[in-house]
Chain A
Amino acid sequence: MFDILGIASRNLLRYGRRTLLTLLLIVIGMVAVLLFIGVAGSFKSMMVGQITDSVLGHLQVHRKGYVASIDSLPLNLNMRPNMLAKIESELDSNTAIAAWSPRIKFGGMFSNFAETTSIRINGIDPVREAATVPLLSGRLQEGDKSAVLVERGQIVIPLLLARGMKTQLGDTVVVVATNRDGSVNGKTFVVRGILESISGPGGRDGYIHIDDAREILRMTENQVSEIVVRLKDFSQLERVGGQLKAAVEGLTNKEGKPVLEVHEWTQLSPFANIAKMIDLMTLFIKIVLVSIVLVSVMNVMIMAVYERIREIGTIAAIGTPPSRILALFLAEGLMLGIAGTLAGVVFSLAGIYGINVWQPTFDFGMQKGLVMAPSIAAGDVLTIAGLVIVVAIIASLQPAWKASRMDPITALRHV
């Protein structure tokens, strides 16, 4: 084996410039892919982190049909106490869950006594909410970020609403809402914070204490609209989601149909499609890399066979078995792949390190100055490296096969 690799390496060095150009192509391809995976992965995880850690959580539990009609925030689809008891018991017993937070969501009117507009209110337990969506308070543009998000009698309002209504911290406002029975109720709040929207114009989510929400809606029993769940390990999303789904399916109505449903964040946000697009682009970049390696290695190997026909004839004539001739040329492709991979990995990791030192920033929605911190998993590096090496061998296969099947007489006559 070492004999074959030794001869193969000399043959590669024999056409140094061509080998270097081929290696350069492989290295450029690998650097492009690994940097893209690192940067896009960083952007994706930051984007997903912003959405899940400040709004959606990782999983949400709702009454069946609630998500389908979520735009109207239907109060008649809130979860009832018996359902909550079941869910709470499941959530508390699941060791993969880091925190969960109940929310009461309703639409109401927001007035500063001069003007009135609509608002979407989230009644939250501030301690649970902070544990479940820890980046929420970080979105406070005005107000104390370190304090509890809302106490009773306080409201956090979205930035665009505050601007439009010329409302400031400490102002007294009133929220009016219609409860499930159709009766209207109102309550005054002090503006405790102004919240930056994550997704740009249109953010109308305000936050009040969950007990204030119950008071406005005159709830006589413990109901919630949704339960937001945070996992200890985000990568376990599918597994834990499956466990929760299986657990809540046991709770059925009179017709025997499940009354609750569990959604992963990807089912609740259009940003999941952006994440999918990033994955798709990564796939295309990988296909481009495979094409680059395939074409460049195949080209160089076809040339290598063509230029060494007489040499192949000679070694075949003196008794080199066809399998060893095949191995000689495959070894050249293998070494090209390995050398290109090693150089590609080194340059890629250097590039990723360089970006981390440079710390470029970017904006996402209304979030400004997010620092790009690309990283790449060892598994991704190994996968790409393996892919390049395998493709290099595959690309060498046809020329190597041709060389091994060459008729020595014809080859020796070749000029």
Chain B
Amino acid sequence: MSLLHAEKLTKTYRSGDIEVAALKGVDFSIEPAAFVAFVGPSGSGKSTLLNLIGCLDHPTSGTLKVLDTDIATLDRRAAAHFRGAHIGFVFQDFNLIPVLTVFENVEYPLRMVQRWPAAKRRDQVLRLLDAVGMADQAHKRPDQISGGQKQRVAVARALVSDPKLVLADEPTANLDSETAHRVLELMKKMRDEFRTTFVFSTHDARIMGEAETIFTLEDGRLLPAAHKEAAHV
């Protein structure tokens, strides 16, 4: 069973009388534990597609199934619940909560979204911080750590609730080459360790180099056969 499956997926935005088609009938499938990058120029529809996969938006037509759930059927609350349970997010700007420590940032999804008991939460957070090499920085605030460290914390936060899928929007855009490489290595290691599917949207050639499957988007359409391994397009 595919983790993600899209058929004739379209998304059209309306601005006054003008309609803009961001996605024009996209079909693809992504298997569990894949390491996938969606690439393409600005305006090609990468972010729109990631928003749809992340249940942050609804398709205009077509079908998108995430973990066998048709995301078009999810209302606002159900979508939030679905994201909390199954999807982790890594953002370009890290988006850590500044008033929380590293530990608390990673703990946040378990505490405020999933409401795990404290002891179980602590074990899980420490496990993830250890996995991303940030256990010794747990007490620090985001403004006291470097960009690379922030992104490692963000990866830990994305993985802490054991999601099946992590979506990363330009996760290396604000990192230097060496740090970006380390973060990508970390993500791959996490994928291997937790069997989590990583889906990126990126311009970054470094990610393209690391991705096992590459989908190229152009003008809202998916270009065929632009991937290293077989993607089901």
Contacts and interface: CB of A to CB of B under 8 A. Distances in A.
Contact of B76 (A14, A314, A322, A412): A322
A3 to B, nearest CB: 6
A320 B111 contact: no
A311 B56 contact: no
B89 interface: yes
Nearest to B82: A319
A288 interface: no
B98 interface: yes
Interface string B56-98: 1100000000000000000011001111110111010101011
Query: Which of A315, A319, A408: most chain B Cβ within 10 A?
Result: A319
B4 interface: no
B84 A409 contact: no
Given A324-B112, A408-B56, A318 B83 contact: yes
Contact of B99 (A4, A11, A317, A319): A11
Interface residues of B, number: 30
Nearest to A313: B95
A322 B111 contact: no
Given A409-B51, A409-B56, A409-B57, A320 B100 contact: no
A14 B76 CA distance: 30
Given A14-B99, A409-B57, A322 B77 contact: yes
B157 interface: yes
Nearest to A319: B84
B112 A320 contact: yes
A314 to B, nearest CB: 4
A80 interface: no
A322 B81 CA distance: 10
Contact of A314 (B88, B91, B114): B91
A321 interface: yes
B169 to A, nearest CB: 8
Interface string B30-67: 00000000000000000000010010110000000000
Nearest to A14: B99
B109 interface: yes
Interface residues of A, number: 23
B108 interface: yes
A97 interface: no
A263 interface: no
Contacts of A321: 77, 80-81, 84, 113
A315 B112 contact: yes
Nearest to A9: B99
A152 interface: no
Contacts of A10: 99-100
B77 to A, nearest CB: 6
Contact of A7 (B89, B99, B109, B114): B99
A316 B158 CA distance: 13
Interface string A302-337: 000000001101111111111010000000000000
Nearest to A10: B99
Given A324-B112, A409-B57, A319 B83 contact: yes
18 contacts: A7-B99, A11-B99, A310-B93, A311-B95, A313-B95, A315-B97, A315-B112, A316-B80, A317-B54, A318-B83, A318-B157, A319-B84, A319-B113, A320-B113, A321-B80, A322-B76, A408-B56, A412-B95
Given A10-B100, A315-B112, A319-B87, 15 more contacts: A4-B112, A11-B99, A13-B99, A311-B95, A316-B80, A318-B89, A318-B158, A319-B83, A319-B84, A321-B77, A321-B84, A322-B77, A322-B80, A409-B51, A409-B56
Interface of B: 51, 54, 56-57, 76-77, 80-85, 87-89, 91, 93, 95, 97-100, 108-109, 111-114, 157-158
